Structure 1
Amino acid sequence: MAMLAGCVAGPDYKPPEHSVATMPSANGAFASGQGPEFSQEPLPDRWWSLYDDPRLDALVEQALEANANLRAADANLRRADAVVREATGQKTLGTSVLADADLERDYTTTSAGTNMPGVLTYDLGFSVTYPLDLNGKLKRAIEGSLADREAVEAARDAVRISVAAAVTKAYADVCAANYQQATVEKVIALQQQTLTATTRLQRGGRGTAFDVSRSRTAVETSKASLPAFTAKRKAALYLLATLLGKPPAQYPADVESCAALPRLRSPMPVGDGAAMIRRRPDIRQAERTIAGDTARIGVATADLYPTVSIGGGIINDGKLENLGKTHSFGFSLGPLLNWSFPNRPVVKARIDAANAQVEGDIARFDAVVLDALRGTETALETYARDTDRAAALGSATSSAGVSSAQAAKLFRFGRSDLLSLLTAQANLASAQVNHAAAEASLVDDQIAVFLALGGGWEGK
């Protein structure tokens, strides 16, 4: 016992020392986050509040309370808590109660030819044991369950991040559909004016039916894109209802009329790689998995040693007629040694398997960190380049607007034909629609960056 008390089976856990997460290049500033669109300020806990939209804030908070997937994740965490309590309970006092009665009968016969009478006997006992855990098996089992619980908590936090991002994107999709539809309706209004003017000129003998049909084709072509925006808006509303834990038909009706895109009022705060690694729940989950499996190396190693506990008990047995009499009582107290002599090759194989599991966990941890870094850099680069594209499309829209106005003026004074006007208006329509789509895409890019940075679970 004294020899066993000096060691706990298996290695003590230490975070991986030579992993990707410890590299200076992984902890520094993001290579793609150096443009004017970004700030090196730390990401706030509730990043969606950067849009300064009270309605969006309320929707996210409501989803974090009612989302079905998040409720399932919370249930998983409660189950993990119960597993920890079960493992911890193995180190407490154990009790057992014994109650038994028997009829003992000798079936030899008497001289009178009858059977011998039976004798009723009983056994009553109560015992208490306390495990000393000298080999550390219970200690390592508790460590493993605690690490597993923290991994489950990290998985729950990852669900929170996904829910917050999904709600924000669904809300933005509703606003974007209305914003893009309004842009197309402005184009249609301009084209309708041209159609009206062309029809009037035809009636006055200055135009042809071909001119009118070409103008009407432009109007109808633009109108054909409107149903897609309605479908996109409805799909986003139905998704929003689902994220809020409601049937699709119970979508928040006040969101349906949202027409302005969510916009950041200042450069996007992205922090650095070190903050992202600390924040990302999937990285934390992978690290806690290593800790749990390291503890299970100790559980496997402990099978090489005996299990020792202290126990005591009271026993009362004998013939039923002596129940309660002093001479029928017995007592026991002392250490209990339990050792199923180990099949060492089998135990060694289990230990080797546990060690290999940890080696695999460390490799997967590196993979998770690398994927997180790559995903973040990609999201930042995509947002930066889409910002440039949106700015260029904005300039193109302004230029197309000038050209369309000039073509309309020349057409009114008879100095240009209808085809030139329709071409200018088609260029304006294309530029306006593309610019609106690019601006809507920027919001999606922003949400992707926030999701990659791992924000949204800390303020729970």
Structure 2
Amino acid sequence: MASRNMVHGTALRLLAGLGLLVGGCSVGPDYKQPSVWSPSSWLNHDKPGQAAVASTLDSMPPDPDWWSVFHDPELTALEQRVAAENFDVRLATARLAESRAQLRVTGADQYPSLTGTGRYERLKISDKEVQRGLTDAVGGLPVSAATASDIRAQAGRATVPPLDIWSDGIDASWELDLWGRVRREVESARANLQSSVEDRRAVLIARLGEVARDYMSLRGSQQQLAIARENQKTAQASLDLTRERFTHGLTTELDVQNAASQLDDVSAQIPNQEQQIAQQINALSLLLGEPPQALSRELETAQPIPPVPPAVPVGIPSELARRRPDIREAEAKLHAATAGVGVAVADFYPRVTLTGAMNFEALQARDLAFWPALAYNFGPSISLPIFQGGRLTGQLQLRKAQQQEAAINYQKTVLSAWRDVDNAMTAYAAEQRRHDQLALSVTAAQRALQLAQEQYRSGLQSFLNVLDAQRTLLAAEQQLSTSTATRSANLVQLYNALGGGWETAFPERAGQALVAKSAGAGKAPS
């Protein structure tokens, strides 16, 4: 038994040593990281002659937990749950696990394939076949006719007992990667894994932004509801005033009906606002993997819309490509497509495979441990494509076209990223200026309503002026509330465009470690 184990170990060491000696080249193009276009500084979004915005951009490095700039504990608590609870992030994590497993499957071709075998058979040969064979063989014997007849008679009665056949051993095969076909396949699979890492980060960023925007909308709707209820009180006070004046003969029933209509119009807005609040809470519940209304107790109490900070740290332009997962994902896909070209080129070259088998076979199990039971075979085989009907040429053309597509997609992704940033900065600055103007409008509308009410009480104006002033104030307050929520949401969109938010949940080192671990780290995967 010890001698047999020594033979097995020697064969494995020889096979591994041969792999170290055979170091082929890798055909096809080597991947080179593309250069990334970026401006020297952030584009100036303040037009000459317009008022400067209150919240300005700062070149300080942005906080990975960008939602902390709003200083809203509830928003922070929601954002911290997204990575673990959101269904889309969990699906992206499952796809990442698929890519990781695929890399291990592809990487297995770098190593010898060893299969242990063990077999037992009970074999019974046909007696008729044996008898016929013996009878036919008698004719060639140099014996007399009588002797031959006697031998034929005995051969006709011959039987063969069943046989027990025992065997165990190892079968091995290994393709020598002389042209780097397998290495290119592993390179492509590793790049695809990196693409999945970045895809998961991109999904996380999108959901972080969606939670923040829905949260801003929720707080905005709650503020809109508070405005409607406050205007309802004002309209009710106006109705009470007109009824009192009508009772004393100081006004007409027309003013009473107009005041009642205004009250009904304002009251009709309240159910719509309550519906929006419920839907927005449901949207946040779904984003966190919760059933409808699961967050009602947590979010139903109205809170102010989170304000924007005086300074917004956005970093420097050259860091955008490093932060944006979609750019990193597009680059990984370009890397995978480039390696795919190398695989297609290698298919034109011969494939050399080492095969071997070493078995111990015996009719009794106790004899398997002895040298005479040894049987083996080994040797190389080579295959060379001669005629494939244009399949290999078509495959190479396909891979080159896919590489060109990936390169174009990478360039488009980079420019799209800068478009997103530019649009987000423009929208953020513009909404701030709009918000300032709406704040002035609300102040003026409040003063106008106050004057209209005073003049109506004094009998200097009709009630129509009061109604117009109420409607103007309600519209101005609603627009200001919407602008406040939009301004905060635009800041969220800006941070989304800058690509931050994944550094804490899915840090870069963890992604690199995942790819390195899946690549095998120099060891044969099990």
**Structure 1 residue 370: Cα displacement:** 1.8
Matching of residues 213-232 of structure 1 within 5 Å: 213-232=257-276
2:37 corresponds to which of 23, 30, 38: 23
What is the aligned counterpart of 1:88 among 100, 104, 107? 107
CA distance in 1, matches of 2:298, 2:340: 53
Instruction: Kindly provide the amino acid, as one letter, of the partner of residue 23 in structure 1.
Output: W
| Offset of residue 319 of structure 1 | 6.8
What is residue 382 of structure 1 aligned with on the other side? 427
Aligned match of 2:502: 457
State the 1:203 CA deviation: 0.4
Deviations 1:195-225 (A, max 9, x none): 1111111001111111111111111111111
Q: Aligned pair 1:391/2:436, yes or no?
A: yes
- 8 Å Cα contact 1:80-1:148 kept in structure 2: yes
CA distance in 1, matches of 2:175, 2:321: 40
The answer on whether the counterparts of 1:29 and 1:271 sit within 8 Å (CA) in structure 2 is no
Pairwise CA RMSD: 2.7
Amino acid at match of 2:37: M
Partners of 2:197 and 2:25 in 1: CA distance = 31
In 2, the alpha carbon distance for the partners of 1:141 and 1:410 equals 84
CA contact (8 A) 2:64 2:503 kept: yes
Further displaced range: 166-175 or 285-294: 166-175
Q: In structure 2, how many angstroms separate the alpha carbons of the residues matched to 1:60 and 1:75?
A: 21
Q: 1:45 aligns with which of 64, 73, 97?
A: 64
| 1:320 shift after superposition | 7.0
Corresponding residue of 2:447: 402
TM-score, normalising length: structure 2: 0.79
Q: Which of 185, 195, 204 is the matching residue for 2:229?
A: 185
Contact residue 297 and residue 354 of structure 1 kept, 8 A:
yes
CA distance in 2, matches of 1:321, 1:288: 55
Matched AA of 1:401: Q
Letter in structure 2 aligned against 1:52: H
For residues 116 and 33 of structure 1, do their structure 2 counterparts lie closer, same or farther at Cα, with a shift above 3 Å needed? farther
Cα 1:222–1:116, aligned 2, differ >3 Å: closer, same or farther? same
2:188 is the counterpart of 1:144: yes
SS of aligned partner of 1:295: helix
C-alpha displacement of 1:314: 2.2
User: Aligned partners of 1:138, 1:432: CA distance in 2, in Å?
Assistant: 66
Where does residue 249 of structure 2 map in the other structure?
A: 205
Alpha-carbon distance in structure 1 between the residues aligned to 2:166 and 2:324? 63
Match of 1:32 among 45, 58, 73: 45
What does residue 164 of structure 1 align with? 208
Aligned counterpart, 2:32: 14
Tell me, in whole angstroms, the C-alpha distance in 2 between the residues paired with 1:275 and 1:452.
12
Tell me by how many angstroms 1:428 deviates: 1.8
Identical counterparts, % of pairs:
25
Give how far 1:259 is off: 2.6
Q: Deviation per CA, 1:378-423, whole angstroms, max 9, x where unpaired?
A: 2221222222111111111111111211122222222222222222
1:315 lines up with 2:329 in the alignment: no
Match of 1:236 among 266, 269, 280: 280
Moved more, 320-329 or 94-103: 320-329
Distance 1:314 1:108 in 2: 34
Whether contact under 8 Å (2:38, 2:317) holds in the other structure is no
Q: Which runs of no fewer than 5 residues in structure 1 stay unpaired?
A: none
User: Given residue 399 of structure 2, which amino acid in structure 1 is its aligned partner?
Assistant: A
CA deviation digits over 1:317-369, x for unaligned, max 9? Answer: 577799546444244566x2332434364322212211111001111111122
Matched, 1:339 2:358: no
Contact persistence 1:174–1:256 (CA under 8 A): no
Do the aligned partners of 1:180 and 1:229 also contact (CA within 8 Å) in 2?
Answer: yes
Residues 433 and 122 from structure 1, CA distance in 2 versus in 1: closer, same or farther, beyond 3 angstroms?
closer
Amino acid at match of 1:202: F
Query: Matched residues in 2 for 1:321 and 1:417: separation?
Result: 115
Q: Distance in 2 between matches of 1:181 and 1:449?
A: 28
Q: Does 1:369 align with 2:414?
A: yes
1:219-269, CA deviations, whole angstroms, 9 ceiling, x for partnerless residues? Answer: 111111111111110011111111111111322412111330011222333
Change (3 A) 1:367 1:124: same
Tell me the amino acid that sits aligned with residue 366 of structure 1: Q
Paired residue secondary structure (2:328): helix
Give SS of 1:248's match. coil
Structure 2: tracts of 5 or more residues without a match? 1-17, 136-151, 506-526
Secondary structure in 2 matching 1:314: strand
Alignment match of 2:325 (pick from 261, 276, 281): 281
Pick which of 280-289 and 113-122 moved more. 113-122
SS in 1 for 2:503: coil
Q: How many angstroms apart in 1 are the aligned matches of 2:308 and 2:206?
A: 20
1:303–1:342: 8 Å Cα contact kept in structure 2? no
Normalised by the length of structure 1, the TM-score is 0.90
Quick check: 1:119–1:319 contact (8 Å CA) kept in 2? no
Match of residue 219 from structure 2: 175
Instruction: Classify the secondary structure of the residue corresponding to 1:224.
Output: helix
Alpha carbons of structure 1 residues 33 and 283: separation in structure 2 relative to 1, 3 Å: farther
Q: Corresponding residue for 1:69?
A: 88
* 1:321/1:459 CA distance change after superposition, 3 Å: closer
Q: C-alpha displacement at 1:309, in angstroms?
A: 4.9
Kindly indicate whether the alpha-carbon contact (under 8 Å) linking 1:39 and 1:271 is maintained by their aligned counterparts in 2.
Answer: no
1:301 paired with 2:351, answer no
Question: SS where residue 315 of structure 1 aligns?
Answer: strand
Among 76, 94, 97, which residue is 1:57 paired with?
76
CA–CA distance in 1 between the matches of 2:364 and 2:124? Answer: 10
Moved more, 94-103 or 378-387: 94-103
8 and 330 in structure 1: CA distance in 2 versus 1, 3 angstrom threshold:
same
Q: Structure 1 pair 251/201, CA: closer, same or farther in 2 (3 Å)?
A: same
Counterpart among 251, 258, 267 of residue 295 in structure 2:
251
Aligned residues: 454
Shift of 1:79: 1.7
Q: How far apart in 2 are the matches of 1:24 and 1:142?
A: 32
TM-superposed CA distance for 1:375, in Å, is 2.1
**Distance 1:343-1:43 versus aligned 2 partners, 3 A rule:** farther
- Answer yes or no: is the 8 Å Cα contact 1:403–1:424 preserved in 2: yes
Residues 6 and 90 (structure 1 numbering): CA distance in 2 closer, same or farther, change over 3 Å?
closer
